[in-house]
Amino acid sequence: MWQTLPEFGTGVLYAILVAAALTMAVSIVAGRTGRPRYLESARLGAYGTIGLVGLAVLLLAYAFVTHDFRLRYVAHTSDRSMPTAFLITALWGGQDGSLLWWLFLMSLYTGACVAWMKGKYRELQPYVIATLMSVTMFFGVLMLFAANPFWTVTSGARFDGQGMNPLLQNFYMIIHPPSLYMGFVGCAVPFAFAMAALVTGRLDNEWIAAVRKWMLFAWMFLSIGNGLGMIWAYEELGWGGYWAWDPVENGACLPWFTASAYLHSTMTQERRGMLKVWNVSLICLTFFLTIFGTFLTRSGLISSVHSFAQSGIGTYFVYFMGIVLGVCAGLIVYRLPRLRSEGQIESIASREAAFVLNNWARLGIAVFIAVATVFPKISELWGEEITVGPPFFNRWIVPFGLVIFALMGAGTLFGWRKTSEKALWRAFAVPLAATALAVVLHFAIGPGLGFHPIVASGRLYPGALGEILRALGAVLPAVSIALCAFNLAVIVQEYVRGVNARRRAHPDEGLATALVRLVAKARRRYGGYIVHAGIVLMFFGFTGQSWNVDKETALKPGESYVVGDYKLTYNGSRMEVDPAKRMVFADLSVERGGQPYGTVSPAKFIYRRMPESPTTEVAMMHSLRDDLYVVVGVVNPETKNATFQIHINPLVAWIWMGLIVLIAGSVVAMWPELQLQEAGAWRYVRALGSVTFSMLIGLMLAMTPARAFAQDGTSSLHAGAVEMRTQAERDIFPQLRCTCGTCGRLPLSNCACSYADQNRAEVRKYIETGLSTEQILEQYANSYGANHIAIPPNRGKLKAIWVVPLAVIASGAAGAALLLRSWKKNAALASAGNAPAAPAERDEYDRRLDEELKRLDDD
């Protein structure tokens, strides 16, 4: 077999395609005829297809382990010196292999889904399998014709492969893409159910109930993936930020927004039979966005700091996206009559109305990000090249984020159907009081602690619009902290009221018992609140960005420097050498509030492979209040004098804590519910085991050290802390892009390459001559082209970048308002008809109903 492994591997890929196609055909027939025999055959066929994918992965692993350098992919991503464990991870370390890995993860999902569907969802099952198989087929085609990991090197086998870039082997960069994959791929199962529901016309609660946990699982991994990406950027990239609004990052967070919108609106359908069209569309959109995100990542359509191996797979994705969009739209239109809402809204002051608003805001933010992300491509249509950089996003997105944040808390205060004015006041009283208290405290104590409620904020555009955005930015900390207090109070209040209600009903229960049972009874509700608490913590952390302190200094050995309540004393530099690199450390001892606090050793690493671009190794000290972030600039080898950039990043640790709380909350919400009838000890153990096992497998897969294949280029290695001496530099550098052409789209405030140094020197000259910001931008654009300005100028057609999304959001608001009004009108009509709802006489059904309700209560 060894002799023909490449051919055999390719053969297995063909077999995957054929088996998936056959299974899809059989399952469609099973769906059409309703014959159990066909369905059973389709199920077996699906397992067989999954087995084939597993076989392909094993073959590739074998090729890696045996150093079969005839395979182009193996030769590119491994070498003989790599230990076996690394060889296995190289399996998904490059474009072709990562597609196979993607397919493998999807097969695992498919297998789990098919096994789980056993004995359930008889009507939906065939079409769920058919949809999953069609997605499998797409990946099969993609691999066979565009990115086959079994392709051979045309020039024959080499003696040794190229191996991995040693610079790329760092933990966080390694783990965040697989975790995102888990989230992305996981969206395929809910999509398959949505398709099945559309095809069969069974659009009631059946598929909604089926999809619930799958979506939650995928959503959790999307959150983890995005969160790990943030940690990676913050801990490793070395420029002090955690989110760069890069197209690839944006692509990854778009499905997160639609998925979380779905997780909320699905409850409206479950409880009230409303928003059916919307839910189906959200699922389809989420799946579409996962493909779109992958497409953005792989096609290199828009220049990005994540520089990807360019290949021809983009076209395939375009076709696939077109098919997905066409099929979804067609089916939704076809089923529109069946998707009519059953329920009617009883009051605008109800949770369903709050969910509509919340969905509108989430979709709005997603539309805004999507438009801004692809805008550089759109503006090319009329011949203008632009770049949309982080300052643009930071200014525009933050207000939207706060609106969602406010709705998050307010929504939970409404009950389903209708909330009377009195109840509403009671619900809002405590949270509003907490908000007011927080504002007062913030203004009173905040400035003393260094957390000013109002901060200075730069202007994005000249003119009124720029002024409005600037004002929003200035009050951001006050608003954000107030909303954190509001949301936290809402969550605590919900728990307290829940526990109180429970203790009224079960007076014998203690506080802790009541709390545990309360959560156990309504896992999704209270798990959801825990997720909300995690988001509060994250917002609290995000707010810290407003109070960042950045200092720059040159120190001689023995000298000290005070920044905030830190005092840093430079002790001197030292050099260490290992086979791969020379490392120059600068040691500083840190005092905080007069007490010794520890030492930090920022460093420069000079790799033998690329001596021309030394990497910046950040030294950090974390605390709940702030992170001390020290970067060494230049170390003079003779005098040992060194330059340092010192950043104090307040509250960042809260973001990571929030992430952990969010994960914990999702786990609580996902915990399986058991029916009393089947709650034998064994069932319980099995359910427990299955959740734990799937979580572990998921986390393991997410955490498996896989090299981020995306990082093949050198782009993000350019990122680092750069010297910014004055406030003017800090304002202007983020708005300009490096001109080297290899670092994608890094702004001058982050790019550490030598080109960027020249650019910065040039801009400094402009600043010295007294040019205004606008003039400097114009000058820079004239020299290097408008696409080297990170913020698209606010003129002419380019205004579309914010006009279009705002128009979409406004029309969405109008649509939501119309929807709510029509519901309200319906409700008024309905209640006029039913008004004298005289209590019907109790009959046998009442008794059965009471019994069933009691049973529901017991389990």
Of the residues 4, 84, 623, 692, which one makes contact with another protein according to CB under 8 A: 84
The residues, ordered by sequence, that sit 6+ positions from 634 with a Cβ below 8 Å of its Cβ are 642, 643
| Residue 540: both structure tokens together | 């609290």
Closest CA to 670 of 347, 360, 212, 191: 212
State the minimum distance, in angstroms, from the CB of residue 837 to another protein: 5
Helix axes 523-543, 511-521, angle to 10 degrees: 100
**Tally of CB atoms within 10 A around 158:** 14
Which residue intervals of 637-710 are DSSP H helices?
652-670, 681-703
Of the residues 4, 14, 80, 122, which one makes contact with another protein according to CB under 8 A: 122
Sign of the CA dihedral with 268 first, then 271, 274, and 278 last: positive
Residues between 61 and 80 that touch another protein (CB under 8 A): 61-62, 65-66
Q: Which residue has the tokens 């699922």?
A: 283
State the minimum distance, in angstroms, from the CB of residue 115 to another protein: 11
Helix (H, G, I), strand (E, B) or coil at 668: helix
Q: Which residue's CB is nearer to another protein, number 204 or number 559?
A: 204
Q: What is the CA radius of gyration of the chain?
A: 29
Length of the chain: 859
Residues between 395 and 414 that touch another protein (CB under 8 A): 414
Q: Which residue's CB is nearer to another protein, number 423 or number 781?
A: 423
Total number of residues that touch another protein (CB under 8 A): 80
Specify the stretch interacting with another protein by CB under 8 A; choose among 290-298, 431-439, 561-569, 849-857: 849-857
Sign of the CA dihedral with 764 first, then 769, 770, and 772 last: negative
829 binds another protein (CB under 8 A): no
59 binds another protein (CB under 8 A): yes
Closest CA to 152 of 52, 53, 7: 7
How are beta strands 626-635 and 560-563 bridged, if at all?
unpaired
506 binds another protein (CB under 8 A): no
Cα 493-662-711 angle, rounded to 5 deg: 155
Q: Which residue's CB is nearer to another protein, number 19 or number 659?
A: 19
Of the residues 26, 371, 620, 706, which one makes contact with another protein according to CB under 8 A: 26
DSSP 777-816: HHHHHHHH-GGGBSS--SSGGGGHHHHHHHHHHHHHHHHH
316 binds another protein (CB under 8 A): no
Q: Which residue's CB is nearer to another protein, number 43 or number 567?
A: 43
561 binds another protein (CB under 8 A): no
Sign of the CA dihedral with 722 first, then 725, 729, and 731 last: positive
d(CA 471, CA 469): 5
| Residue 552: both structure tokens together | 């720059």
Specify the stretch interacting with another protein by CB under 8 A; choose among 121-129, 213-221, 399-407, 755-763: 121-129
State the minimum distance, in angstroms, from the CB of residue 366 to another protein: 29
Residues between 5 and 24 that touch another protein (CB under 8 A): 19, 23
Q: Which residue's CB is nearer to another protein, number 178 or number 343?
A: 343
d(CA 489, CA 432): 8
Closest CA to 407 of 321, 532, 512: 532
Closest CA to 238 of 288, 173, 286, 175: 173
Q: How far apart are the first and last CA of the chain?
A: 56
- Residues 261-300 vs another protein: string with x where CB under 8 A? ---------xxxx---------------------------
Specify the stretch interacting with another protein by CB under 8 A; choose among 169-177, 187-195, 423-431, 652-660: 423-431
State the minimum distance, in angstroms, from the CB of residue 348 to another protein: 15
Q: Which residue's CB is nearer to another protein, number 34 or number 598?
A: 34
Q: Which contiguous run of DSSP H or E holds residue 630?
A: strand 626-635
Q: Are 185 and 102 in contact (CB under 8 A)?
A: yes
426 binds another protein (CB under 8 A): yes
State the minimum distance, in angstroms, from the CB of residue 201 to another protein: 10
Of the residues 36, 463, 558, 598, which one makes contact with another protein according to CB under 8 A: 36
Q: Which residue's CB is nearer to another protein, number 688 or number 853?
A: 853
How are beta strands 619-621 and 626-635 bridged, if at all?
antiparallel
Distances (CA, A) of 736 to 97, 545, 546: 36, 21, 21
- Residues 655-694 vs another protein: string with x where CB under 8 A? ----------------------xx----------------
Distances (CA, A) of 709 to 54, 180, 713: 21, 13, 9
Dihedral angle over CA of 160, 166, 170, 175, nearest 10: -30
d(CA 723, CA 294): 35
Residues between 335 and 354 that touch another protein (CB under 8 A): 346
58 binds another protein (CB under 8 A): yes
429 binds another protein (CB under 8 A): no
Of the residues 194, 254, 427, 653, which one makes contact with another protein according to CB under 8 A: 427
State the minimum distance, in angstroms, from the CB of residue 705 to another protein: 16
Specify the stretch interacting with another protein by CB under 8 A; choose among 36-44, 460-468, 612-620, 724-732: 36-44
Q: Which residue's CB is nearer to another protein, number 87 or number 254?
A: 87
State the minimum distance, in angstroms, from the CB of residue 51 to another protein: 4
State the minimum distance, in angstroms, from the CB of residue 75 to another protein: 17
State the minimum distance, in angstroms, from the CB of residue 843 to another protein: 8
Residues between 202 and 261 that touch another protein (CB under 8 A): 202, 204-206, 209
705 binds another protein (CB under 8 A): no
Of the residues 318, 397, 454, 522, which one makes contact with another protein according to CB under 8 A: 522
Residues between 593 and 612 that touch another protein (CB under 8 A): none
State the minimum distance, in angstroms, from the CB of residue 8 to another protein: 10
Q: Which residue's CB is nearer to another protein, number 380 or number 851?
A: 851
State the minimum distance, in angstroms, from the CB of residue 853 to another protein: 6
Of the residues 686, 725, 825, 848, which one makes contact with another protein according to CB under 8 A: 848
Of the residues 93, 247, 390, 498, which one makes contact with another protein according to CB under 8 A: 498
Of the residues 399, 415, 705, 812, which one makes contact with another protein according to CB under 8 A: 415
Cα 345-285-252 angle, rounded to 5 deg: 120
The residues, ordered by sequence, that sit 6+ positions from 152 with a Cβ below 8 Å of its Cβ are 6, 70, 71, 72
Q: Which residue's CB is nearer to another protein, number 774 or number 859?
A: 859
Specify the stretch interacting with another protein by CB under 8 A; choose among 45-53, 129-137, 609-617, 641-649: 45-53
How are beta strands 595-600 and 626-635 bridged, if at all?
unpaired
Closest CA to 212 of 547, 452, 525, 619: 525
420 binds another protein (CB under 8 A): yes
Q: Which residue's CB is nearer to another protein, number 14 or number 443?
A: 14
Q: Are 767 and 726 in contact (CB under 8 A)?
A: yes
State the minimum distance, in angstroms, from the CB of residue 90 to another protein: 13
d(CA 832, CA 200): 36
844 binds another protein (CB under 8 A): yes
DSSP 461-507: SSSHHHHHHHHHHHHHHHHHHHHHHHHHHHHHHHHHHHHHHHHHH-T
Q: Which residue's CB is nearer to another protein, number 685 or number 853?
A: 853
Residues between 358 and 377 that touch another protein (CB under 8 A): none
Q: Which residue's CB is nearer to another protein, number 418 or number 647?
A: 418
